[in-house]
């Protein structure tokens, strides 16, 4: 399975990424080209669900 979420940067996104890394084979965060440079948004894509939490 996969998980995709829009996340606003603000200091807690590292905890989310760390948690997802325990449950998925790959976890990537991407800032879309269309996003303004000063925008706090990014997207997290996790693939290969292996269970746990």
Catalytic positions are 6
Three-state SS sequence of the chain: CEEEEEEECCCCHHHHHHHHHHHEEEEEEECCCCCCCCCCEEEEEEEEECCCC
């Amino acid at each position: 399975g996969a998980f995709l979420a829009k996340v606003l940067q603000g200091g807690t996104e590292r905890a989310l990424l760390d948690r997802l890394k325990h449950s998925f084979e790959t976890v990537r965060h991407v800032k879309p080209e269309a996003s303004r440079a000063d925008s706090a948004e990014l997207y997290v894509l996790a693939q290969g669900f292996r269970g746990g939490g």
